[in-house]
Homo-oligomer: A and B are copies of this chain.
Amino acid sequence: MLQSCQNGGMATARTRRSPRRTDALSRERIVEAAVELLDTAGEGGLTFRALTERLATGPGAIYWHVANKDELLDAATDAVVAAALAAECLEPPKPTKRADPTKPTKPAESPDSPQDKIRAIAFGLFDAIEDHPWLPTQLALQLSRSPWGSVTPRIFESVGRQVRALGVPEGHWFTAASALVHYILGAAGQNAANNASARTLAPGVDRAQFLDAASKAWQELDPDDYPFIHAVAAQMREHDDREQFLAGIDVVLTGITALHLPGERGRT
């Protein structure tokens, strides 16, 4: 039934307004669709036109639930980050399939020490970024746009609790948590960029080949202008992402414990 054409004389032969949707639109459903679009079509794939098509609606309906595109991107970012942090907070016991605990952790650490929890949080974000290559860009944009938005407190809170649990005196909480958060987001983001670029530039090429090419590019820089880059190019090719990421976290953690826990000189 194509509906009764009650207004015959209208100038615009409005193709009869499509019947109203039965399944209600909601901010949640919109954000969900946005995340899927970002995942499948990339950062540039999230378009209000693509969104209207996927949700079988018009722009107006979407704008009724969401103020603008920035807010939509923020909401999508927040949703993914919240899920990542929640997942890591709830399942610390079981050794996940991704975190490879081959590397011997420091000996004097209890299994659920704050250090371990911080590593779990970091890897949670690391994995989320790997699953959603658009995440680091949006995180950076959101940190620049509104540092007090919803995402920043979320991450700071998760990391900060463990900083407190470490025994860091209150006066240094902000410094310690900042150092951790900035390192985690920066390193995870750059790593994801490597993966994403490998995928984008040559779909068939795997990570190793890509890193090989990038390493070679670095080695071809003028050794006079870039002696250090030249030297670390080899390391870059061989490095293991997660191991390297963990090593960086340990650097920051060691710095925190050494500087802010005068009682426990040295490591851990």
User: Hey, which bits of chain A sit against chain B, CB under 8 A?
Assistant: 136-137, 140-141, 143-148, 153, 156-157, 160-161, 163-164, 170-179, 181-183, 185-187, 189-190, 192-194, 196-197, 214, 217-218, 221, 225-229, 231-232, 235-236, 239, 244, 247-248, 250-256, 258-260, 265-267
- Chain B positions within 8 Å of A176 at CB level: 251
Q: What CA separation (Å) do A157 and B41 show in the bound complex?
A: 35
Given A153-B229, A163-B228, A173-B232, 13 more A-B residue pairs with CB atoms under 8 Å apart are A137-B141, A143-B190, A143-B193, A147-B193, A153-B221, A174-B232, A174-B244, A178-B248, A179-B251, A182-B186, A251-B252, A258-B267, A259-B267
- Chain B positions within 8 Å of A194 at CB level: 147
- Sample 18 A-B pairs with CB under 8 A, ordered by A number: A136-B144, A143-B193, A144-B192, A147-B197, A148-B218, A153-B221, A164-B231, A170-B231, A173-B231, A175-B248, A179-B248, A182-B182, A182-B183, A250-B259, A253-B255, A254-B254, A255-B258, A258-B267
- Chain B positions within 8 Å of A253 at CB level: 255
Most buried by B among A144, A160, A174, A250: A144
Q: Least Cβ distance of A209 to chain B in Å?
A: 14
Q: Are B175 and A251 in contact (CB under 8 A)?
A: yes
With A137-B141, A254-B258, A259-B251 in contact, do A228 and B173 touch (Cβ < 8 Å)?
A: yes
Cross-chain contact of A145 among B144, B177, B193, B227 (Cβ < 8 A): B193
Q: Are A252 and B252 in contact (CB under 8 A)?
A: yes
Q: Are B228 and A175 in contact (CB under 8 A)?
A: no
